Structure 1
Amino acid sequence: MIDIKKEQWKSLLHHEESLVIFVHTPFCATCQLAERMLAILEESDQAQFFYRMNASFFPEFMKENKIQSVPALLLVKDGLVVDQLYAFESVTKLHAVLEGWKQKQSI
């Protein structure tokens, strides 16, 4: 996972491709479990990677995009959240969601 720093945030917002961002807070146990699931997906598919955002450092983004809770997985295109996932039920479900997001982006 690639940590998002405040300095690079504005340039990421104007990234040409869609970004998959994992939103967490450091002391959230559910976030830690979700992060392990995402790590499995990254290991199984070297082309798949995630950006990691500490929600505590980006309160404006959280408010503007009405992020309801952490952990959250966001599909961001042109600085806008176009899809989100809050229930990290299993690696299999995450894989299916990500495949659906990839298909949406290729349309």
Structure 2
Amino acid sequence: MNTIGRNDIKRMVEGEPLLALSLYTPLCGTCQLARRMLVVLEQLFPDIPFCETDINYIPEQAAAWKIESVPCLLLFAGGEIIGKWYAFHSVPYLYEAIRARLPR
């Protein structure tokens, strides 16, 4: 999973047909567990770029996206949010949730 900075977010979100973006904070234990799940999901969806960024460095964008807490997984299609998850539950849960939102 690639770590992207605040300067690359807009380019990635608008430039990729599909993008999964994980928002986290470094000291969040739940975020670390969520990252492990996302590394597995990245292998299950090889056509979707998975990226992560520290929410502390993008407060304006987090407010625009109405982020309520971390960890948060955002799924973008064509620059628009098509999925937002805060509770990761399990890899199979996330797999089905993402798959259900993919354009057909």
Return the TM-score normalized by structure 2.
Answer: 0.86
Which residue number corresponds to residue 43 of structure 2?
43
Gaps of 5+ in 1: none
CA distance in 2, matches of 1:43, 1:85: 19
Gaps of 5+ in 2: none
1:1-107 maps to which residues of 2 (within 5 A)?
1-102=1-102, 105-106=103-104
Shift, 1:7, TM fit: 2.6
> Aligned partner of 1:82: which letter?
I
Q: Which deviates further from its counterpart, 91-100 or 48-57?
A: 48-57
Shift, 1:45, TM fit: 4.7
Give the paired residue count.
104
CA distance in 2, matches of 1:77, 1:43: 19
CA distance in 2, matches of 1:15, 1:69: 26
Q: Which deviates further from its counterpart, 21-30 or 39-48?
A: 39-48
Shift, 1:15, TM fit: 1.1
Deviation digits for residues 5-33 of structure 1, max 9, x if unmatched?
A: 12322322321402111111111000000
Return the TM-score normalized by structure 1.
Answer: 0.84
CA distance in 2, matches of 1:81, 1:46: 19
What percent identity do the matched residue pairs reach?
Answer: 35
| Aligned residues of 2:19 and 2:49 also touching (Cα < 8 A) | no
Secondary structure of the residue aligned to 1:66 is: coil
RMSD of Structure 2 on Structure 1 (CA): 1.8
